[in-house]
A and B are shown apart, each in its own frame.
Chain A
Amino acid sequence: DVKVTQSSRYLVKRTGEKVFLECVQDMDHENMFWYRQDPGLGLRLIYFSYDVKMKEKGDIPEGYSVSREKKERFSLILESASTNQTSMYLCAITWGAPQTGTEAFFGQGTRLTVV
């Protein structure tokens, strides 16, 4: 089974703090994604990476950065947290299953509250 693990289920941080959200996958997949999920807006893509040290901006990258130093780990960084970054953050991986083609799997999510 594919396993995508996010380091924290719940986080509370103060405005201005630097925040790290970690995502680890155990299947040597290349493609990793960070989304934020807000009511009525669905999942919005923040950043993604197709390989180590590679990163691409998604639809809403402002206020975020990412790091991919190792294949299994993709970190989302909030340089200076703000209250409008309070949200549920979801990490996902995609892979091309030999029999069925590309599929996506999600971590359990990190609910971040910035106060």
Chain B
Amino acid sequence: GENVEQHPSTLSVQEGDSAVIKCTYSDSASNYFPWYKQELGKGPQLIIDIRSNVGEKKDQRIAVTLNKTAKHFSLHITETQPEDSAVYFCAALTGNQFYFGTGTSLTVIP
């Protein structure tokens, strides 16, 4: 089955700096890659996603890039703010099932 790896597991940045989280996947049949943000005590919320026919997608301060050849995709957050502090999960969809990374705990230091 699919295997999704996510790095780093923890990330601290100064407010205003950029943060990058990277994921790799193993199954070339995976065709949809969402990113979730999970705040303390809450369920994951979809923040951005990308499908396999697109290389990059941007939504205000967040962007996602996909390299199908290398089987990796990344989340980029620019101009980070304290409210960006949370756990971020990547995922890959293969068939009807989602496979998740192990999460990155992002801390934005004011």
Given that A41-B102, A42-B89, A101-B51 are known contacts, is A90 also in contact with B97, CB under 8 Å in the complex?
A: no
CB distance from B71 to the nearest CB of A (A): 18
Among residues 72 to 115 in chain A, which have CB atoms less than 8 Å away from a CB atom of chain B?
A: 90, 92, 94, 100-109, 111
Which residues from chain A contact B96 at a C-beta distance below 8 Å? 31, 50, 94, 102
A108 to B40, CA, bound (A): 10
Given that A42-B103, A43-B100, A94-B96 are known contacts, is A102 also in contact with B32, CB under 8 Å in the complex?
A: yes
A6 to B103, CA, bound (A): 22
CB distance from A34 to the nearest CB of B (A): 13
State whether the Cβ of B9 lies closer than 8 Å to any Cβ in chain A: yes
Task: Name A48's closest neighbour in chain B (CB-CB).
Answer: B97
State whether the Cβ of A45 lies closer than 8 Å to any Cβ in chain B: yes
Give the number of residue pairs across the A-B interface with Cβ within 8 Å: 51
Contact with A along B34-69 (1 / 0, CB 8 A): 101000011111100101000000000000000000
Contact with A along B5-45 (1 / 0, CB 8 A): 01001000000000000000000000010101000011111
Q: Is the interface of B mostly helix, strand, loop or mixed?
A: strand
Q: Interface residues of A toward B: which range?
A: 20 to 34
A102 to B46, CA, bound (A): 12
CB distance from B108 to the nearest CB of A (A): 20
Given that A106-B43, A106-B44 are known contacts, is A43 also in contact with B89, CB under 8 Å in the complex?
A: yes
What are the 8 closest A-B residue pairs judged by CB atoms, nearest first? A42-B102, A106-B43, A43-B100, A108-B43, A109-B43, A106-B44, A42-B100, A107-B43
Binding site for B on A (CB under 8 A): 4, 6, 9, 31, 33, 35, 40-43, 45, 48, 50, 90, 92, 94, 100-109, 111
Binding site for A on B (CB under 8 A): 6, 9, 32, 34, 36, 41-46, 49, 51, 89, 91, 93, 96-98, 100-103
> Given known contacts A33-B98, A107-B43, A108-B43, what 10 new A-B pairs fall within 8 Å (CB)?
A40-B102, A42-B6, A42-B100, A101-B51, A102-B93, A102-B96, A103-B34, A103-B49, A104-B46, A106-B44
